[in-house]
Chain A
Amino acid sequence: MELVNVHKSYDDFVAVDKLSFRILPGEIYGLLGPNGAGKTSTLRMMIGISVPDSGQVLILGEPLSRAHTNRFGYLPEERGLYKKMKVLTHLVLLAQLKGLTSGEATKRAHHWCERFELTAWMEKKVEELSKGMQQKVQFIGAILHDPELIVMDEPFSGLDPANALALKDALLELAKNGKTILLSTHRMDQAERLCQSICLINHGRVVLEGDLGQIKNSSGSCSVQIKYDGDSSFLREPRLVQSFNDYGNYVEVRLAPGADTQELLRLACSKARIDRFEVMQPSLEEIFIDAVSKPHA
């Protein structure tokens, strides 16, 4: 799946500004960004709910069309279910709209409701369920037709830790079965744990995009934790060290841009006795805050 120069504006407000990225089949892809960054607008265009002003959404090289929608599963950010409908009937309806027969839909609904401990609630009306349970129903509704691309807008919001775990397991299982999953979230810790690739957007533009590991490596602001005994003069080598912070037990060193960790290690070894030398990768959260707080060019 690929987005090419997708642009969308509402009146004067540009929601999505010439956005391009690609998602490889079978990966879990994170669309990240602060609130109002244009995540939901992007997702809506990707599954054909709304149409970009310009640019194209490509699925395996072809432009997105109605024929594709049955292969998508969509979990919107705001839960949308008919309150008066019974859970089972509702799930069957959603799956039927995606092309399943009612018999097959019923069978699968039973299976998934069992997995998410909803069996006792299947004949209840949606409005009688708690928010978390409705959320699970919504999730089941999105995947019942076994879609190839699963688009989830903030899937974990409103779930308690146990249910969030069950949902995460389900997502990982789907990914293992070769489904492509597009996850939109502003919770960096979740993205960090689940996603192989991410796209970080802000103000409708790409800030960072690509493989999560590479992004972490390339994000310049690497830091090293060092526990040492002896001469500390290596910490004042401006070619390698930008700044450091002594915590007593250890110091945290922020490397100068372009500095090599190995060079620092050799220098440190020559001066002092090193107990621990650990290269810290920045958390996605730090990268996120770093990227977002930068005035965008």
Chain B
Amino acid sequence: MRNTWLIIKREYLERVRTRSFMVLTLLLPAIVAGVMVLPAKLATIGKKVQHIVIVTSSPQSGEIIRQGLLSAGDSDDDEAAPETNAPKQARDKQYIIDVNSNPTEAERAALSEKVNSQAIDGYLWLSDDAIASGEVMWVSRNLPGSRERSRLSEKLSRIIQQERLSGGGMTVDQVSIMLKPIRVEAVRMEHGRETRDSSGMKFIEVVVMVMLLYMAVLLYGISVMRSVLEEKNSRVMEVLLSSATPTELMTGKLLGVGAVGLTQIAVWAVIAGVFAVPALAMQPDLDQLKVSPGVLAAFAAFFFLGYLLYSTIYAAIGAIATTEQEGQQLQFFVVTPLVLSVFMLNSVVQTPDAPVVAWLSMVPFFAPVVMYARIVIQTPPMWQIALSLFLLIATIAGNMVLCARIYRVGILMYGKRATLPEILKWLKYAKT
């Protein structure tokens, strides 16, 4: 116990004190902030007033389209979610729209010339039969992105539909009743209560966990493997082994490195909190961000156990391999189950209670991702969570015993990488 603690302390302090730890801890948030903030900033810089001309032979329809485009939030949800409209509108491009009721070829050539010379940003060309045929031409310097194009066509079709209907003799009120969009509200039954979380938020909760686990496993797992290799190659291991058992060494290393990881994540969380909370507080849909304590506990448990599970394998790889390159090749054993569980994620989120998913969430190598995702999306029966946790912990314990054996023999083997039969033999003869 004492030895394990001493090793945890050494691993922790020696790592936290390094310059690379400081740099990574502080630099990563800076990079993330850069990646998140810069494009938004750039977008505001690039944002300017768009000058558009609508060309149609009928000035009335031209005016209606102009109004439609100017007033437009997204037409599909402007009534259903009025409170989210304000920020959206603010984000929309500002338009100056002229109506030109002279659809001649000469005028068209003149407008094209204006687009070319950047006097205007583009023009909408509605031929006389536009309402009947539904064909509208948009001319601009840049092809609009698919999203922009679909928004444009959505708006125009609404305007043109209104035109067609009122042309058929309906009143404006009748038209707007007919065209009122339908919105489906998702309500989830949880513990007998109705909750209205958006599944988008749920998905983010899952993805954040998966990303963190992925990062922790790759970053700190590799770091465990490297330091085993380093101790092996620098023969420190021999000295340490004369004082401590392989199990103590391995547990100490795993927990020490794990603690470094937690420290780093804690620092990041604090930084994120300091910068993100004020920004989030301005968002009206803040309560959707609330994560329940149960989910938080599940996150902590599965994250920690997931890290332990995978890093025990990394430790064993370090003990088996002789060089880092060899270690990298063996990493396959760690990365495959992780990548597989990420592939499964989509079906887990869609059908969290399918029997296949339930069984997969029992498999220890997938449990950290799959079971956690199930808990977030739709809390599975308690016994399933308990069984999954039990199997996970049992596997970790078993792993530790096996790895300690590989450790005991492998760390004193220099020169050549062990083959699988050799490893099996180590497991047998390192019983004591």
Contacts and interface: CB of A to CB of B under 8 A. Distances in A.
A11 to B, nearest CB: 8
A78 B231 CA distance: 12
Interface stretch (A92-100, A230-238, A240-248): A92-100
Contact of B412 (A50, A79, A83): A50
Contacts of B237: 80
Given A82-B14, A96-B6, A76 B234 contact: no
A99 B3 CA distance: 9
A80 B238 contact: yes
A197 B341 CA distance: 63
A74 B242 contact: yes
A138 B236 CA distance: 10
A219 interface: no
Interface string B417-432: 0000010000001101
B241 interface: yes
A50 B243 CA distance: 12
A81 B236 contact: yes
Contacts of A76: 235, 238-239, 242
A66 interface: yes
A30 interface: no
Interface in B402-426: 408-409, 412, 422
Contact of B234 (A66, A81, A96): A81
A132 interface: no
B245 A66 contact: yes
A48 interface: yes
Contact of B236 (A44, A80, A98): A80
B234 A83 contact: yes
A84 B409 CA distance: 25
A5 interface: no
B244 interface: yes
Given A50-B412, A51-B430, A94 B14 contact: no
A84 B236 CA distance: 12
Contact of B243 (A11, A84, A94): A94
B240 interface: yes
19 contacts: A44-B238, A44-B412, A49-B238, A50-B408, A50-B409, A51-B430, A70-B243, A74-B238, A76-B235, A78-B235, A78-B238, A80-B234, A80-B239, A82-B231, A83-B234, A84-B14, A84-B18, A93-B6, A97-B244
Contacts of B244: 97
State the main secondary structure of chain B at its contact with A. Answer: helix
Given A44-B412, A83-B234, A84-B18, 11 more contacts: A49-B238, A49-B241, A50-B409, A66-B245, A69-B242, A69-B243, A76-B242, A80-B234, A82-B236, A84-B14, A97-B6
10 closest pairs, A vs B, by CB? A80-B235, A97-B243, A74-B242, A80-B236, A78-B235, A76-B238, A80-B239, A49-B241, A51-B432, A80-B238
Interface residues of A, dominant DSSP:
loop
Contacts of A53: 429
Interface of B: 2-3, 6, 10, 14, 18, 231, 234-245, 408-409, 412, 422, 429-430, 432
A93 B234 contact: no
Contacts of A94: 239, 243
A149 to B, nearest CB: 11
A60 interface: no
Contacts of A93: 6, 10
A145 B241 CA distance: 16
A66 B239 CA distance: 15
Contacts of B6: 93, 96-97
A98 B240 CA distance: 10
B361 to A, nearest CB: 40
Contacts of A84: 14, 18
Nearest to B10: A93
Contacts of A82: 14, 231, 234, 236
Nearest to B227: A82
A222 interface: no
A11 B413 CA distance: 12
Interface in A69-124: 69-70, 72, 74, 76, 78-85, 93-94, 96-99
B27 to A, nearest CB: 21
Nearest to A72: B242
A74 B2 CA distance: 20
Contacts of B409: 50
B211 to A, nearest CB: 30
Most A CB contacts (10 A, CB to CB) among B2, B234, B236, B412 go to B236
B423 to A, nearest CB: 13
B235 A49 contact: no
A30 to B, nearest CB: 20
A99 B244 CA distance: 11
Interface string A44-67: 100111110100000000000010
